[in-house]
Each structure stands twice: as C-alpha cells, then as structure tokens.
Structure 1
Amino acid sequence: MSPTEKRAVLGLALIFAFRMLGLFLILPVFSVLAGGLEGAKPELIGLAIGAYGFTQALLQIPLGLWSDRIGRKTVIAVGLCLFAAGSVVAASAASIYQVIVGRVLQGSGAIAAAVMALVADLTREEHRTKAMAAIGVSIGLSFGVSMIAGPMLGHWLGLAGLFWTTAGLALLGLVLLAALVPNPIQTRFHRDAEVQPTRFGKVLTDPQLLRLDFGILSLHAILTATFVALPMALRAHLPTFQHSYFYLPAMAAAVVLMVPLVIAAEKRQKMKAVFLLGIALIILAEVGLAHFYEELYGIALSLVVFFTGFNLLEALLPSLISKLAPVDLKGTALGVYSTCQFFGAFLGGALGGVLSGRFGLEAVFWFAAGAACLWLLLALGMTPPRPVKSLLIPVALADPQRAASLAYSLRRLPGVIEVVVVPDERLAYLKVEEKHLDLGRLEALLRRFTEEPETTLAEN
C-alpha cells in the first residue's frame, strides 16, 4: 500500500474499532450495573442492551446509500455525532427508559456501510482485500478488549462513566476522521463493497445466502441474550471487576483452539464440517451454562467452548458470504448480512430480558441453545462451498461490446467460475478456483483485450 492508503486504512479501522468498542463495553456488565436505575427490571435491561441493534439494522443501508450523494466523510461524521449524543443521553440517565433512548440513538449512527465504501474509494483494487481485512480485525479486537475492559471500567467509573467513555471514543473518532483519513479524489460505486437496491431480490431469494443471514442473526441473538444473563450468574461468584480476569483466560484459550479449526476449514477444504462444529460448540456451551451457571468452574469451561465456537463462526461466516454470493453482488449480500447481524442483537437482548425476568437465568441459556439447534438443522442443508476466490481486475475497456466479448472469453478459461465485466467501472469481477486457474493465460487474454499493456490482478 502507498503511505496514503495505509493512513486511510489505519484511520478508518480505528474509527470502526472505537465505535464498536463503545457498543460492546457495556455488554459484560450492564445487567449487573443497571439495577440501580429507576424502573429497572430484567425485561427493560435486556431491551436496553439490544436496542442499538434495531436502529443500526434499520439505518445502515440507507445511510450507506446516502453517502453516495452527500459524501462518505460527511455521513461518518454525522454518525459519530449521533453515537456521541446517544452516549451522553445514556450517561445522564436516571431511569432505564432514558438509557434505552440513548442506546437507540447510539444505533442510529450507523456508519458501517459508509466506512466500507470509503475504504473502497481510498484503496486500489489490488489492496482492497487487505484493507477490508484490517477493518475486520479491528472489530474482533474491539470485542475482545470490551470483554476485558468493560468490567474494570464499570467497577471504577460506574455505568454513567462507561457511557461517558463511549462518548469520548466517538469524539476521538471524529478527530481521527479529520486528521488521518484523506478526502477521496473520486467517489464512485463499488459492487464489492456497496449495496445495489435494485438487486435485493437476487440476494433475498438465494437459499444459501439466506441460511447464512439466519446464521448471523442467530449468532448475535445468542451472544446478546447470553450476556443478559451471564453477568448476573457470575456476580454470585465474583465481584464485578474480577469478571475481567475471568474473561481474559477464557478468550485466550478460545483463540488458541479456534485457529487450527479455521486453517482446517480454509486450507484443507473442510468448511462445512468445521462450520457445523462451530454451531455444535455453541449448543454445547449454552447447555453447559444452563446446567452449571451456579458453579464457577462450569461457567468457565462453558465460556471457553462458547468463545471458541463464536470466534470460529465470526471468522467463517463472512468468508462463506464471499464464496457463495454472486460475484458482482458481494456488497449487496454483505449489506443484508450486516442488517441481519444487528437485528439479531436487538432480538437477543429483548428476548433475553423477557425470559430472564419471567423464568430466570436458566431459561435464557436454554433459549440460546434452542436457537443454535434450529440453526444447526438449517445449516445441515448447506451445499459445501467450492474453494473459490474473487478477483477484481482493472480493465481499460469502455466499449460494452468489447466488454461482453472479454467476459465470454474469460468464462472459457479453466478455473473461472463466474465473470462480470462492467465497462462503466472499467472493472472485471471474477470468481475462480485457484488450483485450476492458469494466471499466464488469464493475463495474456487480458492484454489482448485491453488498451493497456499490463493488468494487475487483485484478490478481493
């Protein structure tokens, strides 16, 4: 990457990480700390935990489309201001209802789609994969940090202090946006990173993609519901600040266990088997929590299993979307997928609160186990994905007829599964099987068709 690209990716990754950290910080402690708020009861505590997901799911695609019109940085800045405002409302709250309003306002700062589009604007095609991966890593790190920092900060600063911290993180994001992220020379549409509203039907009628959408909805519903009940179960054994010491080794052990499974899925082409194993681990963990939530060692073992399954599935689901989505609809598929993810967080918080209030903590864990069982049944019908990768190739072709001829010729190459050539964007989108692809023949074909002597291949 060029220095400008590195600076842009660093700035946007930090902005995304700070925002997600602000959302996740309360997850491991809110149900414990919210008891002192006026009107607090389990149903409303659960709703407050998941409320951000409703507005996030509702607004992330519209705000992404809006960024095409008024500018990416403008939408990101507005979103960060809304997030900061929601944090201030929640930090100033005396009642649980005001916290819910604050959380809803936090979620309305839905900048995910605009950030991804800006990443695409500011990076060349051959570096797009690395840039998107940096954003993904920042999200994973923010979740891990929140599990460890949330209980400590909650103990030192209280619930209001946690929300003031999230407001500060949002304002820091504004500073990074101004200081690190350059203005794009040109803002244009990117099929690999943005939604095409006119083609939702293609994505929403694909059984394979719908299974994955249901999967991410279930996974985040399970996560949020679990953390409605889990902090309460831990409080019976440990003071709040010590929850951090409990989560840290559990997450570290889960990462060690997860890595070889990801390698087996991607490198040894065991994707479906490992994916089903991840769901089974979630079921096992939730059943363990339902049976042993009153025993500290039972919680510890169940959490290691849970985090292993959760981290594994969080890594595999986006990879599966990329493999199974039509090559020119990856951005649209990811937009629907992200919407389902945030709606799942809302459902998990709301249902977890209701179940906890009416039937106790055990019912929440059984609900999560049941949701994972349903997901496993649906996932059994998933077609094992082929070991494909996407290529994004700049092609200097403005003539639609030449573009159509190039697409026809590319489809005939061994190892090429899908091809879409878009002359207006001067890009070719390919899905290929690397082991059967002859890069020499591909590059020779491109040189014959394009006006430029060299064509750079870019993985995406």
Structure 2
Amino acid sequence: MKSDKSKRQFTFGMTPLERRSILSLIGIYSLRMLGLFLILPVFSLYAHDLQGATPALIGLALGAYGITQALLQIPFGLLSDRIGRKPIITAGLILFALGSVVAAMANTITGVIIGRALQGSGAIAAAIMALVADLTREEQRTKAMALIGLSIGASFAIALGVGPVLNRWIGVPGLFWMTAVLAMLAIAVLHLGVPQVTIPRHHLDVEPTPKQFLRILGDSQIMRLALGIFMLHVLLTATFVVLPISLRDESGLDPVYHGYIYLPVLIVSILTMVPFIILAEKKHHMKEVFIGAVITLGLAEITWIYFHASLTATVIALWLFFSAFNLLEATLPSLVSKQSPAGSKGTAMGVYSTCQFLGAFVGGWSGGAVYGHFSFTGAFTFCAGIVGVWLYFAATMKPPQYLRSHILAVGKIDPEEAQHLAKRLTEIAGVADAVVVAEEGVAYLKVDDEQLDQTALDQLSANKTG
C-alpha cells in the first residue's frame, strides 16, 4: 500500500527536485519582472526632468526594452540548446543589470533609452522556460508553466503598489539601482538553487523550432491572437505613459498616493475576472468572454477621454482596464495553446511573446508621441482607436476548439516507428492531432477531453513504455 501511495505521489505530484527547481526559477523570473515593472507607474512623472526629454522620447524610454526583447528572445532560446541554459540566463541577467546601471546613472533621456534597451537585451524568458522543461517531467510541465505565469502576475501587482512608495524614498534612479541588485540576486538563485542540466534537450511544447515558423505565420487564427497580445501591450504601455501624469495634473492626486490607488484596484480586478475565466474555460464561452474583455478595454479608454479630470471616474476606468487586461493576459496564452498544432506550441508561443514585447515598444513610443501632440484626450482617443481595430479582428475570429495539449512518453523509438505510432494515436477517439518525436521519446497530442478514450490511450502508452 505504501508503495502504491508513493507511486501515485510521484506520478501526480512534484518530486522534491522538481519543487526546488520550479521555486528557484520562479524566484529568478519574479525578480527580473519586478525590476521591469517597478518603474511603470512612476517613470513618466520622473522623466520630464531629464535633459532632452520629450513626450515621444519618454514613451520610447518606457518601451525600449520591448524591441530588444522581441529581437533577441528567440535567438537566445535557440542558443541555450547549444551552449547550455545557465550560461545564457547568466549572461542575460548581467546584461539586464548593466542596463539598469546605465539607466540609473543617466541624466539624459537618451541615456535612459540606451539603458532600457540594454535591459531588454537580456532576453532570457525562452531559456528559462526551456530549463523548466529540462527539469520537470512531461506530466508536471503544464503545472510548472502555470506557476511561473502566476508569479509574473504577482510581480506586476506588487510593482504597481510598491513602485510609487519606493519612488518617494529612493527615486527612479534608486529603482534602477534596485533592479540591478535584483538581477544579481537572481544570478545567485540560478547557481545556488537550480540543479545543473548536463545535456539540454529541445522541447517542442516550450521552445520555438525555426522550420515551423512559416507554418505558424500562415495560421490566421494564431496570428490574430499574436495581434491581440501586441495590441494589449500597446494599450498597457501607452496608457501608463499618460495615466500617471493625468492622475497628478488632471485628477489632482499626489504621486505619493498613486500606489494606494493601483494596488487595491488591481486586487479587486483580479477577483472580478475569476467568474469570467470560469465562464470562458469551463462553460466554453471563450469567444464571447474574449470580445467582452476587448469592449471593456474600450470603455475604460473612452471614460478617460471624457472624464480623466475626475478621480472617481479615473478609478472606475482603471478597474475596468485592469479587469479586462488581466482576463486577456490569462486567456490569450490559453487560446494560443488550444489553437497551435500538436508539436508546434513552442513555436507559436515564441511568435506570441515576440509580438508581446513589440507591443510594449510600439505602445511606449506611439503613446508618448500622440500625447506630445494631442495631450491627454488625444492619447486616450488613440488607445480607444487601437481597441476598435482589435475588436474587428476579435469578432471575426473562429470560436476556439476546446482541445488541450497532452504529452505522452513513448520511450526509445525509431523515426519510422514514430510515424506509425502517430497514425495509431490519431485513430483513438478524442485525439485530434499527434506528433511523435523519436529523438525526445515523446508524443505531442491535441485532445478533446469530452471525447477522449483514455483507456485506449493508456493501453497504447503502456505497450510502448512497458
């Protein structure tokens, strides 16, 4: 009996090594994202005093990390397959720390832009995800990725609440110095807490594969979702170029108290989105919830167009904005996972993440430029226009199939047998697509849980691994 219990725990729960690995990698990811997010609610207030500052350059400085992240994330991830995860992650964190130091010491807006771009050049997200896959079993990988996703959301919430408070004590240069220290702490966590991987493996469910890019770029449904995350981060960055200034100058709220607005509103918005996540995922109303969230973003921006001088209206719009933003930030990756072909999830997510960082860059630069020419009303109108374009693409997308990704260990197998096994897998009820990768010894499946013949799948798996 004890043996059976241990076996079940090993199968369905994480091993101590997996827990240590995931907690350490969550620490690294959280420290880095906290450093990026801390300046979001305060930078546009600080940057006006920098030499050479204009609204467009302030926005560019806020979003500059996005362009280098977008350009280097996939190459860094692929390079980690060749020279190892830890060297790439260490180099990325050093670049991030150096960028933070450059931004902290800069007294010109150009210097801050260079520092922010250098921060973004430490593009380690793909390498960290690959390391997660290296250190976890297939059946625990989804759980591990979800925990990292939650840590990013927590970092965002903490940064919005704590950033304005820390800004009062140490200023924006101090926040950049703090970010550099956090990066150094992340390096320590990497080498002291994360187990060593002797031979990195490529994982199709996590990492991009160059030969699959054309397939993903030609998939209109996945590209609509990539456009969605692009526009969502255009809206986030453009809004936060303008909103802190509007809160101070139009609503009359001292920047010291901004954090007391952001954090409670963000917490309430997270509670607000939970029923809609359930409605989308469990009740299969994903498209309706998705479109509703996009419309809600538009309502928030329209409220700011006409009532940005009212503190009450600004707070209500902020609640609408955060509720929709968090809902979309949670559902978009889920939609990409559902829509991506079996064995192509890593490539689809690579394209998705690249568009996300490009959105931060475009949003910062364009939001600042529009604000510089047309003030608050023009900036919020620009954001509402972005929502209008997005709404068209969201409304015309196909309702998603409710398929989930599933990884099946098949053991050692030759390429010819892999093709035969893939055909047998697709003949099982509920298996919509299957790709068997002989080198990895796994099969990547897309399955419909409501129709899946789990018994047949288990039997076939047992025959292959037995």
Q: TM-score range by the shorter chain?
A: over 0.9
> Would the aligned equivalents of 1:191 and 1:331 in 2 still touch at CA under 8 Å?
yes
User: Secondary structure at 2:48's aligned position in 1?
Assistant: helix
Partner of 1:394: 409
Partner of 1:456: none
Partner of 2:6: none
Which of 32, 35, 38 is equivalent to 2:51?
Answer: 38
Taking the aligned partners of 1:295 and 1:272, their CA distance within structure 2 comes to: 33
Taking the aligned partners of 1:9 and 1:111, their CA distance within structure 2 comes to: 16
1:247 aligns with 2:266: no
Partner of 1:281: 296
User: How much does 1:153 deviate?
Assistant: 0.9
> Would the aligned equivalents of 1:27 and 1:227 in 2 still touch at CA under 8 Å?
yes
What RMSD, in angstroms, separates the aligned Cα atoms of the two structures?
0.9
- Deviation per residue, 1:84-103 (Å, 9 max, x gap): 00000011111111111100
Partner of 2:248: 235
1:446 aligns with 2:461: yes
User: How much does 1:205 deviate?
Assistant: 0.6
User: Secondary structure at 1:434's aligned position in 2?
Assistant: coil
1:190 aligns with 2:195: no
User: How much does 1:283 deviate?
Assistant: 0.5
Partner of 2:182: 169
User: How much does 1:186 deviate?
Assistant: 2.8
User: How much does 1:405 deviate?
Assistant: 2.1
Taking the aligned partners of 2:371 and 2:123, their CA distance within structure 1 comes to: 29
Partner of 1:64: 77
Which of 237, 244, 249 is equivalent to 1:224?
Answer: 237
* Aligned-pair identity (%): 53
- Deviation per residue, 1:333-359 (Å, 9 max, x gap): 000000000000000000011011111
User: How much does 1:399 deviate?
Assistant: 2.4
Partner of 1:51: 64
> Would the aligned equivalents of 2:66 and 2:359 in 1 still touch at CA under 8 Å?
yes
User: How much does 1:397 deviate?
Assistant: 3.8
Partner of 2:8: none
1:112 aligns with 2:112: no
1:4 aligns with 2:30: no
Taking the aligned partners of 1:406 and 1:65, their CA distance within structure 2 comes to: 28
Which amino acid counterpart does residue 344 of structure 2 have in structure 1? L
Which amino acid counterpart does residue 185 of structure 2 have in structure 1? L
How does 1:48-197 map onto structure 2 within 5 Å?
Answer: 48-197=61-210
With 239-248 and 333-342 compared, the bigger mean Cα shift is at: 239-248
User: How much does 1:203 deviate?
Assistant: 0.4
Partner of 1:310: 325
Query: Normalised by the size of structure 2, how large is the TM-score?
Result: 0.95
Gaps of 5+ in 2: 1-13
> Would the aligned equivalents of 1:290 and 1:362 in 2 still touch at CA under 8 Å?
yes
Taking the aligned partners of 1:185 and 1:440, their CA distance within structure 2 comes to: 36
Q: Which runs of 4+ in 1 moved over 3 A?
A: none
> Would the aligned equivalents of 2:20 and 2:194 in 1 still touch at CA under 8 Å?
yes
Which amino acid counterpart does residue 427 of structure 1 have in structure 2? V
- Deviation per residue, 1:88-122 (Å, 9 max, x gap): 00111111111111001000000001001111111
Partner of 1:326: 341
User: How much does 1:199 deviate?
Assistant: 1.5
Partner of 1:297: 312
Which amino acid counterpart does residue 363 of structure 2 have in structure 1? G
User: How much does 1:155 deviate?
Assistant: 1.2
Which amino acid counterpart does residue 51 of structure 2 have in structure 1? E
Q: How many residues align?
A: 451
Which of 19, 22, 27 is equivalent to 1:14?
Answer: 27
Taking the aligned partners of 1:32 and 1:5, their CA distance within structure 2 comes to: 43
With 301-310 and 148-157 compared, the bigger mean Cα shift is at: 148-157
User: How much does 1:185 deviate?
Assistant: 3.6
- Deviation per residue, 1:36-87 (Å, 9 max, x gap): 2111221111110011101110110111111111111000000000000000
With 391-400 and 262-271 compared, the bigger mean Cα shift is at: 391-400
> Would the aligned equivalents of 1:397 and 1:403 in 2 still touch at CA under 8 Å?
no
User: How much does 1:249 deviate?
Assistant: 1.9
> Would the aligned equivalents of 1:279 and 1:376 in 2 still touch at CA under 8 Å?
yes
Which amino acid counterpart does residue 299 of structure 1 have in structure 2? T
User: How much does 1:440 deviate?
Assistant: 1.1
> Would the aligned equivalents of 2:408 and 2:461 in 1 still touch at CA under 8 Å?
no
1:267 aligns with 2:282: yes
Query: Normalised by the size of structure 1, how large is the TM-score?
Result: 0.97
Taking the aligned partners of 1:224 and 1:163, their CA distance within structure 2 comes to: 18
